[in-house]
Structure 1
């Protein structure tokens, strides 16, 4: 059975299929899924990040809402360039995975390419101490993304 985070993510993505910009009320979502509002925050933070192609804005207060925007790049090369721009001096495994998942969801890379990339950036493969591991991961991600740009 899927967990509540997966269900909430699927629901929000289904709404986003009909519109690239949606406004949601955290309390209404929490009530709909019978969870605490912090669960909604968790889903938005982990599943709707810029690395995954979303911008989330929050307006606080009584009439507050959360706006989720699906960012749609014009070309694959533009998306790859945006992802390269997100990678700094070092990158965590979670951020790298989010970038790879985004590229897969946008059909920029195949399932096979995604699996290979996920294997390369895994902490069990990069068996060195942090922060060197995150620096090496950033270099590997940049190199893989740049090779995608030239092969398209």
Structure 2
């Protein structure tokens, strides 16, 4: 049986999938009432499962008419380059700068898989290629090579 946090997460993800534009607005107390829990439980779910690393942006406005807006980001919008306001052509590879650390590459791949842009098999192949291309390289060089290889692979896999 799923935990309460997992149930809340699944509910919010279903709402996002059904929403046009991948944006929903909720009221914390209404969701808490639906799941018979305290509002802080909703905060916990939002803070741990709806982060930019997981491909979401959460905005809130407190008060009587307050709301929580959850936006489902395109996978490449969660990269540091996109977050810094760097212009992008709207394609995943455009958000990859000249360097890319392993954690950010993995976050991007997980987001692409979660959204159905690539399958698990393709994700595994890309991960293997990145590992082979960066094996034995120093951190700075590995980050530059990883960025070049991932950009090239995404251009092929997503076209």
TM-score by length of 2: 0.61
Structure 2 gap segments, 5+ residues each: 75-88
Confirm or deny: 8 A CA contact 1:57 1:66 kept in the other structure.
Answer: yes
Deviates more, 1:96-105 or 1:32-41: 32-41
- 1:75 matched to which residue of 2? none
Superimposed CA distance per residue, residues 45-85 of structure 1 (whole angstroms, 9 cap, x where no aligned partner)? 15542xxxx5x25133324333123467xxxxxxx952112
Instruction: Give the direction of change, closer, same or farther, for the CA distance of 1:89–1:147 in structure 2 (3 Å limit).
Output: same
Alignment of 1:93-104 (within 5 A): 93-104=102-113
Q: Which residue number in structure 1 is paired with residue 84 of structure 2? A: none
The structure with higher relative contact order (CA 8 Å, sep 6+) is: 1
Partner of 2:77: none
* Maintained 8 Å contact 2:31/2:42: no
Residue matched to 1:59: 60
Distance between the aligned counterparts of 1:95 and 1:89, measured in 2?
13
- Structure showing greater Rg: 2
Q: Cα deviations across residues 28-50 of structure 1 (Å, max 9, x unaligned)?
A: 6674686473552232215542x
Contact 1:93–1:122 (8 Å) recurs in 2: no
CA distance in 1 between counterparts of 2:3 and 2:66 reads 27
